[in-house]
Chain A
Amino acid sequence: MEAGRIEVRQMANSRIEPKPGHFGRQLKSSVMAVLCASLTMLVLGLLLLVLGYILWRGLPGLSLDFFTKPPAPVGMRGGGLAHAIAGSFILMGLACLLGIPWGVGIGIFLAEYARKGFFGEAVRFLVDVLSGVPSITIGIFVYTVIVVRMKNFSALAGGVALGIIMVPLVARNTEGILRLVPQGLREAGLSLGLPFWKVTLFLVLPSAARGIVIGITLAGAGVAGEAAPLFFTSLNNNFWSVNLLEPVSSLPMEIFRYATAPFAAWHELAWTGALVLIGIVILVMLLARLFLPGFEIRR
């Protein structure tokens, strides 16, 4: 009895007692943890710094006028960026109209129909290449294909350029999320005598909806701040315009124009524009996260 107890105690001790090399491993482990933690803090700090600075510079100009009024004539104070906000919404709407179905479609194709095989790999590679193409190149492409032919800069061309930039981002994210859906769910659907396309569209896709939509908001956020491709496509417009065949203003273009102009009042508008741009992006991302149901999928 007593002997047994001692033995147990000894075993317990021997588990805690450092073995040779134990201390070194623990040191390495904590160095690594500290390193990772400090890098994380650094990036969080940077984010807060950027956000804080934009808030500080942009907040004073934030008013109802900013959202409802066109810019004031040069030299006058006041006015807003209503035309640019509307323009950005138009451009993003067009980009989503093009980029979401196209990107989600490619994602479904890659995950459900071409998981293995040469063709799928080829498409996957090309989609990756496309996502690496600088956005300004896409702008030039759309310029030659649409702007030159239609002989006019237009909201349509801008939306198409942004949409094309969204496609590979949406496609690869959609594919990744769909691959996480367990095979058992597809098999359950097929075993009910449902055709493959119905299983994909009505069973697999809804189970992955949250991840797919969050990916879309990220891709949308990425292109919402793009200015480079818009120089060749939607250009800019000093006035309110909702005509898809005319040049249209946008927040990134106006931020660029106002920030590089030599007037203090314009600089303030640029900062407020940046603040509004970030605000809209964060709001959409937050709404997607809050209101999209996520599903825990049993394996």
Chain B
Amino acid sequence: MTGKIVVDELFAWYDDREVLKGISLEIKANRVTAIIGPSGCGKSTFIRCLNRMHEIVPGAGTAGKVYLDGRDVYALNPIEVRRRVGMIFQTPNVFPAMSIFQNVAVGLALNGWRRRQELHSTVEKTLSQVGLLEEVAGRLDQPATGLSSGQLQRLCIARTLAVEPEVLLMDEPCSALDPIASFRIEELIRELKQKYTIVIVTHNMQQAARISDYTAFLAQGELIEYGSTPAVFINPKDRRTESYITGRSA
């Protein structure tokens, strides 16, 4: 099985500052891949390159190749890439002017889906996928800002699922949540990997060990180690990986 996403010698920079220095790896379909590494090593930058969100920062650029199902992402329309490769951010940034329903439907509605009926069934489907349907029953038309942080993050996931992506990129999706809300997201990730390919950035080693099938360790813009999660955590090949996951500074 070749990778859902194949990254080949990826470089990335902000203005004249190089942040990723030639990263190559394969991300497997229907698996959870965790990206770990010290703060500032380029984890966010890396996953933002995968759906071409990196280039929206003025002065930012990339070199190298990213393939999605064998097609060069940088030769496709960025709009299409982002629709196929969705992204969840650290802060659950819901749209404040919109109701819960509108927040989930917005991706479709603004892409020309007008039939209320279809929107309704999609919103219901994705809300139940993230386990929110019952919690927000009867207040779909109320502002989304009234929900708890954990609910908001799941709402953001539902919003992303509604446009039917194939890959989900998650940038520290639990770091603003309490342990119980985090646990719910972790459960959700485990369910979602049946249908989606998931890449998650996390600072929480236990979380990475619990939910991921593969782990990539980045340091200073370079891929130090990549392999199956048990292998990386139990038997790291590189001394830097070992000291990072055991909490000694690299």
Contacts and interface: CB of A to CB of B under 8 A. Distances in A.
Given A186-B56, A192-B159, A207-B96, 16 more contacts: A184-B93, A185-B93, A185-B96, A188-B95, A190-B82, A191-B89, A192-B106, A192-B160, A194-B79, A194-B107, A206-B95, A293-B97, A295-B97, A298-B92, A298-B94, A298-B96
Interface of A: 115-116, 182, 184-195, 198, 202-203, 206-207, 209, 293, 295-299
A206 to B, nearest CB: 4
10 contacts: A184-B93, A187-B56, A187-B87, A187-B93, A191-B51, A192-B82, A193-B80, A206-B97, A207-B95, A209-B97
Given A182-B93, A209-B97, A298-B92, A194 B87 contact: no
A65 to B, nearest CB: 44
Interface residues of B, number: 31
Which 4 pairs, one residue from A and one from B, show the smallest C-beta to C-beta distance?
Answer: A193-B83, A295-B96, A192-B107, A191-B87
B173 to A, nearest CB: 13
Contact of A184 (B89, B110, B163): B89
B163 A192 contact: yes
B86 A296 contact: no
Interface string B36-58: 00000000000000010100101
Interface of B: 51, 53, 56, 58, 79-84, 86-87, 89, 91-98, 106-107, 110-111, 145, 152, 156, 159-160, 163
Contacts of B89: 184, 187-188, 191
B106 A193 contact: no
Contacts, number: 82
B56 to A, nearest CB: 6
A202 B106 CA distance: 9
Nearest to B109: A202
A298 B145 CA distance: 9
A71 to B, nearest CB: 46
Nearest to A186: B56
